[in-house]
Structure 1
C-alpha cells in the first residue's frame, strides 16, 4: 500500500449519501492541474488529472459540505485507474479512498467548526492536564 497526496479543485459539489447498511459516504470529483512556465516565461497548462475520491463515515460527514471550486489537499490510499471513452477520445480517471481531506489555504482562508466532544475517543491524547510525576522506587 502507498499513500497518494495531491492538491486540486472540486469540479462539483460533494455528493453525500448513506449506503444501504447505514454507512456515510461522500464522493468528491477533484481536478489536479499542472501549470508551468514555458521557456518564454508564460504560463502553460498541462493535462488535467481527474481523481474520484471516496470518503467514509466521519470523514464523509465532515467533507459533505465542500463545494465546487474549493481547493483541497487529499491524502489517499487504494488508488486505481479506470480508462474510458469520452466522445470517442480515450481518457483516464484515478479513483482513491481518502485518509484525510483538508481545505487548502493557498488562495483563500478557511473556518474550522467543531462539535462538542461526545466520547472518550475524542479526548486529546496529547494533553498534559492529567500527567503525574513518576513514583520513585
Structure 2
C-alpha cells in the first residue's frame, strides 16, 4: 500500500537469518530482532532492562541474499520498514505478532565495526557488510564503485 509510514528500530538479532526460496524460485529471508529499552529507576539511579519488543522481519530478492550472507545472531542492527500486524491462535489463546517488511537494514556501529563491499552495479544497486567486530572503532573504508555508479556520475534527469 502507498503512504504507509516507515518505522526504524534498533535491536539485536535473536537468531541467524533464515534464507528461503519461494515456489517461483525467488529468494526471501526472515529474521527476528529484539529491541530492549534501558530504564532508569529514579529513586536508586540504577539502570535495568525494560520490556523487549520482538519483531519478525522479512526481505525479498537479492536484498534477502545480502542479509543472509551478512547478518548473524547477536548482531546489533538498525532496521527500517513497514510495520504489519498478524493475529493467530496458539494454545487456544488469540495472539498478535508485529512484523516489519524491511526497506533498509544494516549493522549498528555503536559497539562494532563493519567493512562495506559494494555489489555489482544493478538497476537497484546493492552492497553488503562484512566483518562486524567489537573493537568500538568505526572504519571509513569504502571500495570504489565498479563500472560507474559513483557520486560524480551524471544524473539521469
Contact 2:17 2:29 in 1 (8 A): yes
- Determine if the alignment matches structure 1 residue 57 to structure 2 residue 61: yes
* Alpha-carbon separation, structure 2, partners of 1:3 and 1:50: 17
**Alpha-carbon separation, structure 2, partners of 1:120 and 1:101:** 19
Deviation at 1:36, TM superposition (A): 1.6
Partner of 2:78: 73
Quick check: 1:24–1:61 contact (8 Å CA) kept in 2? yes
Asked if residue 21 in structure 1 is aligned to residue 24 in structure 2, the reply is yes
Higher relative contact order (CA 8 A, sep 6+): 1
TM-score (norm 1): 0.79
Residues 94 and 121 (structure 1), Cα distance of their counterparts in 2 relative to 1, 3 Å cut: closer
> Within 2, Cα distance between the matches of 1:82 and 1:31?
19
Matched, 1:3 2:39: no
Q: What pairs with 1:57-136 in structure 2 (closer than 5 Å)?
A: 57-65=61-69, 66-82=71-87, 92-117=96-121, 119=122, 122=125, 123-124=148-149, 127-130=151-154
In 2, distance between residues paired with 1:56 and 1:45?
A: 33
The match for 1:43 among 27, 44, 47 is 47
User: Within 2, Cα distance between the matches of 1:107 and 1:91?
Assistant: 34
- What per-residue deviation string (whole Å, max 9, x for no partner) do you get for residues 49-86 of structure 1? 10000011121011003111011101111421446658
Q: Mark the structure with the bigger radius of gyration.
A: 1
Q: Could you tell me how far apart the structure 2 residues matched to 1:106 and 1:38 are?
A: 24
Can you give the 5+ residue segments of structure 2 that lack an aligned partner in the other structure? Answer: 126-147
